[in-house]
A and B are shown apart, each in its own frame.
Chain A
Amino acid sequence: MRAAVERIPCSDDSFERDAAAHVDEQLHATAVRTDRMFAWLMGLQWLAAIAAALWLSPRAWSGMESSVHIHVWSAFLLGGILSALPIFLALVHPGAVLTRHVIAVAQALWSALLIHLTGGRIETHFHVFGSLAILASYRRWPVLVTATIVVAVDHALRGVWWPESVYGVAVASPWRSLEHAAWVLFEDVFLAWSIRQSLADMQRIARNQVRLERARDLVEEEVQLRTRELHDQIGVRMRAEKQLAATHQQLLTAARRAGMADVATSVLHNVGNVLNSINVSSSIATDRVRRSKVSHLAEAVELMERHENDLGDFIANDPRGRQLPGFLKLLAKRLQDEHGEVLAELDALTSRLDHVKKIVSAQQSHASAGGFVERTEAVQSLDEALAFEASSLEKHGIEVIREYEGLPAIELDRQKLLQILVNLVRNAKDALLEMPSGQRRLTCRIRPSGEQRFQIVVQDNGAGIPKQNLTRIFSHGFTTKPHGHGFGLHSCAIAVREMGGCLSVHSDGSQCGATFTLELPIAAPSGAPRNARQTIEADCQLVG
């Protein structure tokens, strides 16, 4: 900005014209102001003259007869005329050249009148010099010339016709005239010099003012330019933010869909496993029923009906009749066995259907709306997560180790916690699949962390995480799974952040297993959650 101000041209014609216009404007304002001041002064002088005449010479005497003194009439009439025109011009034409010259004439004549009314007192002569000084308020030396001329003419005329009134003697000495004039000129010279200095100051101030005005114009232009640029930048940024918000919304939708797909996959996977068992049980039961010997019982019954009239003889004498009791005994035993097998299969079927029911129920619970802080148990949530994956864990021969330390009841979003834990357990399970069967071990711990927080640790001895991936594992879209989306851990980290907690990971590298530590407050944090997405990268501790 300083550079801009320094670029202001100060010597061109327009600059000088503007400065001169400022000076003219100031001089005019001064003239108007001074004219109005003199209008008041003229009125005051008139009143003062009348008062002085009434006080000093109210009446003229001739013996014991008296009349109003001529000084009173002079003050009233002559003083009135003297003040009338200057007041009129000052009010009607303030600032005009002629106005101030008329005022100068009137002011000089007021000196003469007052001197006369006060009997030529030396003190009243100070009015002349005071008037010149006041006239200098116009900052125009010509008014001093006018006033001086009036004084000179007054002295000259009275010196010619009434020299005694000026010089006290009938024959005026030229040196006395010069002396009188010299004192007036003495003041005129210094007043003129003062006016010149004042005008020089005004011109200097006017130049500075023009410079400042131009600087202000430059600054305003600069400000307007910057403001426009800023508006443009703000517009661009707002559009970018809108786009970012839309993208974020799309990502959330995609993450939600991916999560739903994950859940659906998981549910279908688990339900499918159980359905296989159900199908096997159903086939076995069907096969048992199909291969049942019940039809032989019907044949025996039909045989007995044919011989119902001689059933005893038939059983006793007929060779086929003699085999019938043994046949029935054998058949009964066989049917009992079949009944037991079918019942066993039906029990298994019922059990697996119940398993399906639990899976569906758990999924319904898992999928229900979250966001509600409720009082719950960390152990219960972790067990639910493990139960959610129980069939898969069992199927793949994963040993689950529970190390729970005592914790008070916690207050948090239970659904959100369950979602996180299911995700961690499922990731651990997937990591363990790369290990040979019989060595797959999943350790789940719950322990306090200070007085107000607790930790849930999900540790596996599975595939582990390479160091280079540790820093990206919570990033959006990062995954090591062939069919993964990279949403799971990212969503978990966001959810943890929203709950006022922190999710950290530790791994010694590939084939060394991984430990995910979820740390949460025992009581839900008060107030609105922070913008978890903005702080997730900084808050999640990545321990290599």
Chain B
Amino acid sequence: MSLYRPFAARQNLLLAVWLLALLAGFAWLQLHASTPERQAPAPREWPASSRLKLNADGCTLLVFLHPYCPCSRATLEELARIMTRCRGRLEAQVVLTLPGDERADWERLEYWKAAAAIPGVRPAADVDGCEARRFGARTSGQTLLFDRGGALRFAGGITASRGHSGDNAGEDAIVSWVLDGVADVVEAPTFGCGLPLEPAQGGPARLIEE
């Protein structure tokens, strides 16, 4: 019995359609994953009005996250790698942004707990997104690096694509600056969900830190 069974032309057509559909599907998926969100310009200096604390002994890394954005899980993983590579020469704050009337139990959020578990990282809740607006963050995953003098050294994302962990230009730039004081790039695309920046009706802006 022959192991080869010839396929009819109709089946070859089916095969071609299948391959094309897959090609289109993967391309569409990859296109979506590789398309960064629009960013606002970040302040060149640490805003004096910010209630976030600048590290006077070293660099400060701010990571703004949407608490429910699934793409930002990769950002936290990359943050953990950055903190490891910087060997304690960097302080980081993960700022979770939410409207004031959304919920109050920040500590129970997945990203709060994940951020708190990374050495050198402090989670904070930016109620009503006041700090996000102050730092020009519009996309979950937006990361800003300030030196001890409050000067902005890097702004952008720390994932190579949407929700995709792995080597990326942002991570390399931050680590390079922290360790060597130099970096090839100062900006990188940010991949993530839009941060909730609309203030709640009547609620005061608050910053809740760990």
**A interface residues, Cβ below 8 angstroms from B:** 24-25, 27-28, 31, 56-64, 66, 69-71, 74, 77-78, 81-82, 84-85, 93, 95-98, 102, 105, 109, 112-113, 116, 119-121, 154, 158, 161-162, 164-165, 167-170
Q: Give Cα A85–Cα B165 distance, bound, in whole angstroms.
A: 31
Q: Give 11 new A-B contacts, CB below 8 A, not counting A63-B195, A165-B33, A168-B167.
A: A59-B68, A61-B193, A61-B194, A62-B193, A64-B196, A66-B68, A71-B163, A102-B18, A164-B34, A164-B160, A169-B160
Q: Give Cα A295–Cα B145 distance, bound, in whole angstroms.
A: 189
CB-CB contacts of B166-204 with A at 8 A, as 1s and 0s? Answer: 111101100000000000000000000111111000000
**Residues from chain A with Cβ under 8 Å of B104 in the complex:** none
B1 contacts partner chain A, Cβ-Cβ < 8 Å: yes
Q: Which of B3, B14, B25, B140 contacts A95 (CB 8 A)?
A: B3
CB distance from A26 to the nearest CB of B (A): 11
The answer to whether A95 touches B71, judged by C-beta atoms less than 8 angstroms apart, is no
B interface size (C-beta, 8 A): 46
B74 contacts partner chain A, Cβ-Cβ < 8 Å: yes
In the complex, residue of chain A having the shortest beta-carbon distance to the beta carbon of B18 = A85
Q: Give Cα A78–Cα B23 distance, bound, in whole angstroms.
A: 10
Q: Give Cα A170–Cα B156 distance, bound, in whole angstroms.
A: 15
The answer to whether B168 touches A164, judged by C-beta atoms less than 8 angstroms apart, is yes
Q: Which of A58, A74, A102, A119 contacts B73 (CB 8 A)?
A: A119
**Residues from chain B with Cβ under 8 Å of A93 in the complex:** 5, 7
Q: Give Cα A58–Cα B194 distance, bound, in whole angstroms.
A: 16
The answer to whether A61 touches B5, judged by C-beta atoms less than 8 angstroms apart, is no
The answer to whether B30 touches A165, judged by C-beta atoms less than 8 angstroms apart, is yes
The answer to whether B160 touches A165, judged by C-beta atoms less than 8 angstroms apart, is yes
The SS class assigned to the A binding surface is helix
**Residues from chain B with Cβ under 8 Å of A78 in the complex:** 22, 25-26, 29
Q: Give Cα A303–Cα B194 distance, bound, in whole angstroms.
A: 191
**B interface residues, Cβ below 8 angstroms from A:** 1, 3-5, 7, 14-15, 18-19, 21-22, 25-26, 29-30, 32-34, 66, 68-71, 73-74, 77, 99, 102, 140, 160-161, 163-169, 171-172, 193-198
The answer to whether B168 touches A116, judged by C-beta atoms less than 8 angstroms apart, is no
The answer to whether B169 touches A162, judged by C-beta atoms less than 8 angstroms apart, is no
CB distance from A36 to the nearest CB of B (A): 15
Q: Give Cα A24–Cα B194 distance, bound, in whole angstroms.
A: 59
The answer to whether A120 touches B1, judged by C-beta atoms less than 8 angstroms apart, is no
Q: Give Cα A27–Cα B1 distance, bound, in whole angstroms.
A: 11
The answer to whether A158 touches B169, judged by C-beta atoms less than 8 angstroms apart, is no
The answer to whether A120 touches B164, judged by C-beta atoms less than 8 angstroms apart, is yes
In the complex, residue of chain B having the shortest beta-carbon distance to the beta carbon of A154 = B26
**Residues from chain B with Cβ under 8 Å of A96 in the complex:** 3-5, 7
CB distance from A67 to the nearest CB of B (A): 10
The answer to whether B169 touches A164, judged by C-beta atoms less than 8 angstroms apart, is yes
Q: Give Cα A154–Cα B30 distance, bound, in whole angstroms.
A: 11
CB distance from B127 to the nearest CB of A (A): 13
The answer to whether B166 touches A168, judged by C-beta atoms less than 8 angstroms apart, is yes
10 A-B residue pairs with Cβ-Cβ distance under 8 Å, sorted by A, are A56-B70, A61-B196, A63-B196, A78-B22, A78-B29, A102-B18, A113-B26, A113-B29, A116-B30, A165-B33
Across the A-B interface, the 7 shortest Cβ-Cβ residue pairs = A168-B167, A57-B70, A61-B193, A96-B5, A78-B25, A164-B160, A62-B194
Q: Which of B1, B77, B164, B171 contacts A165 (CB 8 A)?
A: B164
In the complex, residue of chain A having the shortest beta-carbon distance to the beta carbon of B101 = A64
Q: Give Cα A70–Cα B166 distance, bound, in whole angstroms.
A: 20
The answer to whether B15 touches A112, judged by C-beta atoms less than 8 angstroms apart, is no
The answer to whether B29 touches A116, judged by C-beta atoms less than 8 angstroms apart, is yes
Q: A61-B69, A165-B161 are in contact. Are A24 and B3 (CB under 8 A)?
A: yes
The answer to whether B29 touches A119, judged by C-beta atoms less than 8 angstroms apart, is no
In the complex, residue of chain B having the shortest beta-carbon distance to the beta carbon of A167 = B167
**Residues from chain B with Cβ under 8 Å of A95 in the complex:** 3, 5
**Residues from chain A with Cβ under 8 Å of B140 in the complex:** 61
